A and B are shown apart, each in its own frame.
Chain A
Amino acid sequence: MSADTALCADPNYNFAYIDEQTKRMIRRALLKAVSIPGYQVPFGSREMPLARGWGTGGIQVTAALIGPLDRLKVIDQGADDTTNAVAIRSFFSRVTGVETTQKVAEATIIQTRHRIPERPLTEDQILVYQVPQPEPLRKLEPSEVETRNMHAWEEYGLMQVRLYEDIARFGHVATTYSYPVMVNDRYVASPTPIPKFDNPKMNMMPALQLFGAGREKRIYAIPPYTKVRSLDFDDHPFTVQSWTQPCTLCGARDSYLDEVIVDDSGGRIFVCSDTDHCEGRRELGHVGPAEDSERST
């Protein structure tokens, strides 16, 4: 197998693009991150053949982890066929020659942007998040020195102020993505732009969760079976999004749905954001309500 993959990998690059010393540096940061769940570990982020902000943090984490026997899945907005996912997948198959897959069940490493797969992950899998802004306090406190102190001293009143502001303005917590979580009862962390629908999946997840922010040069982690709690108020408990109709294609009522505009007259349908989940269900014979698409003018 390894001989095969060596043949497939582009011989002009080191395995997984990054040189071995850099991989060691990233692995050291990863080990520290896993040891202190939720703590943001600085690392020497490298230039990648991709614009910063497009997933360079996730790519570096994946590159430091991946071996010739791994199977990689890349998710962008829940889908495998969007630009970012296609580009990153082809990048890794070129520089490592590893097998790629679109099926969650077959993957050993899943690099993701915006979603956690609907299918529960297992102990044999690693979920790598691409993180644009690792600092959950940044919107309220611009000083990096100050936010680091706040983490060190567990001064998280400010984070609660952000939720307070939401309720004061909108009557409910209007934050729907990057919803802050408390990891292992110690560090407040940003789960990156996943919808808050996915937050409960992070709690006690059997898979290892790694977060890489390339532009901000930070790595953090949530080890398997770690307590992750979404912040809330006693009288405004945390809730996730819900939809009035099921997925138009597969009829799922328990997955995260995307709204898709289908014509120029305002016709729209709701479909599963997780394409692998939706296809899997359709293969099993599930169908959606055929002509149930809502029309409004």
Chain B
Amino acid sequence: MSATIDDMRARAAAPPAPILQVENVARYYGERVGCRDVAFDLWPGEVLGVVGESGSGKSTLLRCLAGLDTPSAGHIRFDDDGVLLDIHALPEPARRALMRRAWGIVHQNPRDGLRMDVSAGGNVGERLMDRGARHYGQIRARAADWLGRVEIDPARIDDPPRRFSGGMQQRLQIARVLVSEPRLVFMDEPTGGLDVSVQAKLLDLLRVLVRDLGIAAVIVTHDLAVARLLTDRLMVMKDGRVIEQGLTDQVLDDPQQAYTQLLTSAVLV
């Protein structure tokens, strides 16, 4: 870990402006409630966890935050270098451009986030080419560098992801998202479907990368161990509402709500 006291001081001295402001967001599917009354601020470099059982509205919320779905009510504002943008009020081309430039999304299933028949190098390089990189040698060098950082042998740069194991595919997806140095990353169950030892390595990697790059992240998970390891702050959702939020250790060690108590007592974390 390279976070020194100086880093922390610099971070503390930075003007306190949240990178993402979420205000009473709700998403209804007809009569049914996806999520409602969600409000929070996310600060630069902060990792926010969203936990809850399946069907509690976590993924719906994430889709709204990431601009993949439009909320039925409320506002989501993104601090784009001092300019506060209501992302769902932006015209679609501007929103797409913003997503390309400042955000990254890590999907639960790497197949959703990767192009399975494009080589690993092409997958990682796509974001760079999206943003106008037109020098093959430089694109390739950066792709190789990022494969190394996510612990994929750079010799496999020309292999398509379908020849990779599940854990490698997920690491490749992370490289593809982080290569463009986004300021905000959304992750939906990044360790879902991986066996425990692979999960542990991936979590370790994510923790180092997120801390090193100072990325703000929202991580949706049903796995409290993931939340404990990765997140600074935790939101517990049930039936589409946030029932409890606070510092991760605080929420996990001293849960206030009956549902959170049930959740934490169900597993060893």
Decide whether A and B are members of one complex.
Answer: yes
User: Is A169 on the interface with B (CB-CB < 8 A)?
Assistant: yes
User: In the complex the two chains form, what is the Cα distance from A140 to B136 in whole Å?
Assistant: 19
Interface of B is mostly: helix
Write out, one digit per residue, whether chain A residues 157-195 have a CB within 8 A of any chain B CB (1) or not (0): 110110011011100000000000000000000000000
Find the A residue at minimum CB distance from B123. Answer: A161
Give the docked Cα–Cα distance between A140 and B122 (Å).
12
- Contact between B131 and A168 (Cβ–Cβ < 8 Å)? no
Residue from B97, B126, B140 in contact with A168 in the complex, judged by beta carbons closer than 8 Å: B140
Q: Which residues of chain B are within 8 angstroms of A167 by Cβ–Cβ distance?
A: 136
Contact status A161-B125, CB under 8 Å: yes
Chain A residues touching B, range: 10 to 19
What residues of chain B lie closer than 8 Å to A157, measured between beta carbons?
Answer: 126-131
Stretch at the interface among B20-28, B36-44, B69-77, B113-121: B113-121
A149 to B95, CA, bound (A): 13
With A140-B115, A155-B96 already in contact, the answer to whether A233 and B122 are too (CB < 8 A) is no
A164 touches B125 (CB 8 A): yes
Which residue on A lies nearest to B125, using beta carbons?
Answer: A164
A105 at interface by CB-CB < 8 Å = no
Once the chains are docked, how many angstroms separate the CA of A155 from the CA of B96? 9
- Which residues of the other chain, A, contact B125 by a CB distance below 8 angstroms? 161, 164
B97 CB to nearest chain A CB (Å):
7
Other-chain contact of B121, A152, A153, A164 (Cβ < 8 Å): A164
- Say yes or no: B100 contacts A161, CB within 8 Å: no
Cβ of A236 < 8 Å from any Cβ of B?
yes
B139 on the interface (CB 8 Å rule)?
A: yes
Contact status of A160 and B158, CB under 8 A, knowing A153-B97, A233-B136: no
The size of the chain B interface, using a CB distance under 8 A, is 25
The answer to whether B118 touches A161, judged by C-beta atoms less than 8 angstroms apart, is yes
- Assess the A168–B93 pair: CB atoms within 8 A: no
* Contact (Cβ within 8 A) B135 A168: no
Contact of A161 among B96, B122, B157, B158 (CB under 8 A): B122
A264 in contact (CB, < 8 A): no
Q: How far is the CB of B23 from chain A (nearest CB, A)?
A: 27
| Minimum Cβ distance to chain B for residue A239 (Å) | 14
Q: Using Cβ atoms and an 8 Å threshold, which residues of chain A touch B9?
A: none
Partner of A160, one of B93, B100, B129, B157: B129
**B104 to A: closest C-beta gap in Å:** 14
Q: Give bound CA distance, A157 to B134, whole Å.
A: 10
Q: Which chain A residue lies CB-closest to B93?
A: A153
Q: Is A4 interfacial (CB 8 A cutoff)?
A: no
Q: Is B16 positioned at the interface, with any CB of A under 8 Å from its CB?
A: no
Any B CB within 8 A of the CB of A234: yes
The verdict on A235 contacting chain B, using a C-beta distance below 8 Å, is: yes
Report the separation of the CA atoms of residues A149 and B122 in the bound assembly, to the nearest whole angstrom.
Answer: 21
Partner of B135, one of A152, A155, A234: A234
| A164 and B122 contact, Cβ closer than 8 Å, known pairs A152-B93, A169-B158 | yes
Interface membership of chain B positions 128-149, coded 1 if the CB is closer than 8 angstroms to chain A and 0 otherwise: 1111001111011000000000
- Given A153-B97, A165-B122, A168-B140; A235-B135 close (CB under 8 Å): yes
Which residues of A (121-160) have their CB < 8 Å from a CB of B? 140, 149, 152-153, 155, 157-158, 160
Contact across chains for B134 and A233 when beta carbons are under 8 A apart: yes
B93 & A164 in contact (Cβ 8 Å cutoff) = no
CA distance A273 to B71 in the complex (A): 58
Instruction: Identify B126's interface contact among A152, A161, A233, A234, CB under 8 A.
Output: A161
Contact of B134 among A153, A155, A160, A168 (CB under 8 A): A160
User: In the complex, what residues of A have CB within 8 A of residue B134's CB?
Assistant: 160, 232-234
Alpha-carbon distance A168/B127, docked complex (angstroms): 17
Rounded to whole angstroms, the CA-CA distance of A169 and B127 in the bound complex is 20
- Alpha-carbon distance between A167 and B140 when the two chains are bound, in angstroms: 10
Whole-angstrom CA separation of A149 from B96 in the bound complex: 10
Residues on the B chain within 8 Å of A155, using CB: 96, 100, 130
B4 CB to closest chain A CB (Å) equals: 36
Whether B137 and A235, one on each chain, are in contact in the complex, defined by CB atoms closer than 8 angstroms, is: yes
A168 to B139, CA, bound (A): 11
Interface residues of A in 213-244 (CB under 8 A from B): 232-236
Q: Which residues of A contact B92 (CB under 8 A)?
A: 153
* Given A140-B118, A153-B93, A155-B100, residue A161 in contact with residue B136 (CB < 8 A): no
User: Which 6 pairs show the lowest CB-CB distances between chains A and B?
Assistant: A157-B130, A160-B129, A157-B129, A233-B136, A234-B135, A161-B122
Give me the interface of A with B, judged by CB distance under 8 Å: 140, 149, 152-153, 155, 157-158, 160-161, 164-165, 167-169, 232-236
* A–B Cβ pairs within 8 angstroms, 24 of them: A149-B96, A153-B92, A153-B97, A155-B96, A157-B128, A157-B129, A157-B130, A158-B129, A160-B134, A161-B118, A161-B122, A161-B125, A161-B126, A161-B129, A164-B121, A164-B139, A168-B119, A168-B157, A168-B158, A169-B119, A233-B135, A233-B136, A235-B135, A236-B136
